Chains A and B, each alone.
Chain A
Amino acid sequence: METIDPLPQLKDIFDKLRQGAYITHEQGTLHAALAEHYEDYKLYFEPLGLNLVRHPRDFFYFHTEAAEGTPPAASLAPIAVFCFILIEAAANEGRPVEEYLLTERFTLAGLPHLKSDRYKAHMRAVEVDDENGLRKLLKSMATKGWAEYNNDDTFRFLRPFHRLFDKCQEISLAAEQESREVLPGLEPKIDPEMN
């Protein structure tokens, strides 16, 4: 009788993903196993209603149908505001956003979040108003696989941050489409050959 080899590190992979976390290169063997047997894992999880997604930037997560309908956890709002501010500040400084945010190592003291009244107001709206609050936030991002946090208050972002970039593009595109609908005829000509 033919026996099926068990999928490597299945329990560890499942435990990590079911927490809502990402598996990235930083997870070493877990990532390697998923990368090598992605289709097998995907087929394994599918009947359980768990959609294993491999992002084009090579990290993995569960996208469940329930997750779309369920409101995101309250802790996610501060994370989102934190990230949006960082993106905006980087762009205003003329930095190439993706390259900068995913390659730089940041310090808590150097963050722009508590340095301008506008940003402070945004952070207050999600109940973060001091450095301790920011630190707590970063630690929570590290748990979810968004960032790597060190005890000396330095951190760097990990690949799952790309999902936020994707979301920002989606917001921008939706806004542009909305304005085009309001102002017909202003659509820029795009030559497919040029892109």
Chain B
Amino acid sequence: MALPYHEADAEAHMQVTPKRFFDFCAGHVPLLHAISQKPGDISEAQVRQMIRTFSDITTEQPQTTWERLTELQVIVPVEEGSSHYVMSQPLLHLLNFLYNDAVPTSPEIIQGYIAALESARKRIALGVEAGDSLSVAMATNEVDHTLRRMQDDLDATHRAVLAEVARYKADRSSVSVRERYLRILTLMDQYVHPLVEIIRVDGLLESTLAETDMVLRAAREQGVYVELGMVERNERQIRVMRRRAIHTLNESRKELQPLYDVLRRSSAIAHGATLALGRLRQMKLEDWVNMYVSPTTNARIEVPPTDEVLRRIIDEVVNHPPIPPPLLNTTENADTPPDYVRLLWLNELPNLLNEELPVKDITNWLTSNFPEKGTSDALLGLSKLLFDPKLDVEFKGGKMKQYRTRDGVLEASTITINKAKSAAKAK
């Protein structure tokens, strides 16, 4: 009796025993690998052709292989009744794992995970607030799954990068530079680079992880959720995710960067050459040479200095602007310069003081004898006397006194001044 489709399907499921399945797979590894490498779906005719190419038809009839493929659900129709097939998803994952093949994860998928984390975080926060341990438990479980899948996908991206780099290094001749460049460029620009943007320290992932971490801590501290193991595991996973995600992507970037640089340069060189050749027959040869050849070539130099240097020197001589001679101030002023007057006063000061030695308060002597002098002149005079080698200066200390000058006030403690002993002896 013919069974309805879903029943037949259910029966078929039941018939797939692990031993039969793996025995078949073990005997048809090249065929399975070939099917897994086919992008998109494949027609029945293509599968049959692949069976003839990759299976040992002396040990098993192609028809038998075909029947086993469908019966064991190695391949499944894309829709009911279709003659186009795809490899079943779990087996494809297994093969990718075994062959270390991986599909890079798009930034959109990672953003989806981040949105899922954000949603779970909100539910944990609400659950903690409402004391609802069940919803906290469910959301915490979801965080666990999401983090695990995110890490798996990031690892897959890294594996995909490594595989592409290995393919590039192993296969040096079959694909053009431009195509290889585009493949590396796509990996870098479509996957690795946007993922780094998301995962970087100030990126979207980090803030979501930080917030999730906070609600998990709240759930633990407030005792809403009794199964602490799960909360702690999530917290551990968040720490690992932070560390590994950026590390994984940086490693991918390190693998790609040198190829990216070399290929970008190679691609630009090839692009430039093709462009130049393309214009060759559209332009006059002379114009083409001017545009695409110079200045890669050097002109012969007949006799130095070059015409250009001679022309420049002649130009400089011809255009040399006349510079007027410097003007000297020849008019005489009858006034004596104030600086000179000050100098004379300073030089005369020790002699004036000498007549009145010893002086008990030199600052007082100076300001009272020369009240017309401003503060700066008074200080200059004081310095002149203090550093005079023919005078002995003694700082008495004690209370500060104020001394008025023409334009201000000096504040100092008493300074006594005597004739220097050596100077007195010499006299």
Contacts and interface: CB of A to CB of B under 8 A. Distances in A.
Contacts of B292: 80, 84, 167, 171
Contacts of A64: 298-299, 301, 306, 308
Interface residues of A, number: 64
Given A77-B293, A94-B175, A171-B292, A63 B298 contact: yes
Nearest 9 pairs of A and B residues by beta carbon: A168-B272, A49-B309, A91-B270, A49-B306, A171-B272, A67-B299, A87-B273, A48-B304, A172-B272
Interface of B: 172-180, 188-189, 193, 196-197, 253, 257, 261-262, 265-277, 280-281, 285-286, 288-290, 292-301, 304-309, 312
A48 B271 contact: no
Given A80-B276, A80-B289, A91-B266, A67 B176 contact: no
B177 A96 contact: yes
Contact of A125 (B188, B197, B281, B309): B281
A9 to B, nearest CB: 17
B255 to A, nearest CB: 13
A194 B188 contact: yes
Contacts of B300: 18-20, 73
Contacts of A125: 280-281, 285
Given A94-B173, A168-B268, A49 B296 contact: no
Nearest to A146: B297
Interface string A104-121: 000000000000000001
Question: Which secondary structure dominates chain A's binding surface?
Answer: helix
A168 B274 CA distance: 9
A81 B277 contact: yes
Given A48-B304, A64-B299, A168 B269 contact: yes
Nearest to B179: A94
B301 A50 contact: yes
Contacts of B265: 98, 165, 169
Contacts of A88: 270, 273-274, 277
A92 B266 CA distance: 11
Given A93-B173, A98-B265, A122-B280, A80 B270 contact: no
A64 B261 CA distance: 32
A122 B179 CA distance: 25
B423 to A, nearest CB: 53
A60 B394 CA distance: 75
Given A88-B270, A94-B173, A72 B305 contact: no
A19 B314 CA distance: 26
Given A49-B309, A63-B295, A96 B289 contact: no
B296 A91 contact: no
A172 B277 contact: no
Given A64-B306, A97-B270, A167 B298 contact: no
Among A45, A47, A98, A172, the one with the most B-chain Cβ atoms within 10 Å of its Cβ is A172
Contact of B285 (A77, A90, A169, A175): A77
A170 B304 contact: no
A21 interface: yes
Contacts of A2: none
A62 interface: yes
A133 to B, nearest CB: 16
Contacts of A84: 273-274, 276-277, 292
Given A62-B298, A72-B297, A87-B269, A48 B306 contact: yes
A47 B312 CA distance: 11
A65 interface: yes
Nearest to B301: A18
A164 interface: yes
Contact of B299 (A73, A95, A171): A73
Nearest to A193: B196
A91 B269 contact: yes
Given A20-B297, A21-B298, A167-B292, A172 B306 contact: no
Given A96-B262, A167-B296, A169-B268, 10 more contacts: A21-B298, A64-B308, A66-B299, A66-B306, A67-B299, A71-B289, A73-B299, A79-B293, A122-B280, A168-B270
A68 B176 contact: no
A126 interface: yes
A70 interface: yes
A85 interface: yes
B277 A20 contact: no
A96 B299 contact: no
17 contacts: A20-B300, A49-B309, A64-B298, A71-B294, A76-B289, A79-B293, A84-B274, A87-B273, A93-B173, A94-B177, A94-B179, A122-B280, A165-B269, A167-B292, A172-B271, A194-B196, A195-B261
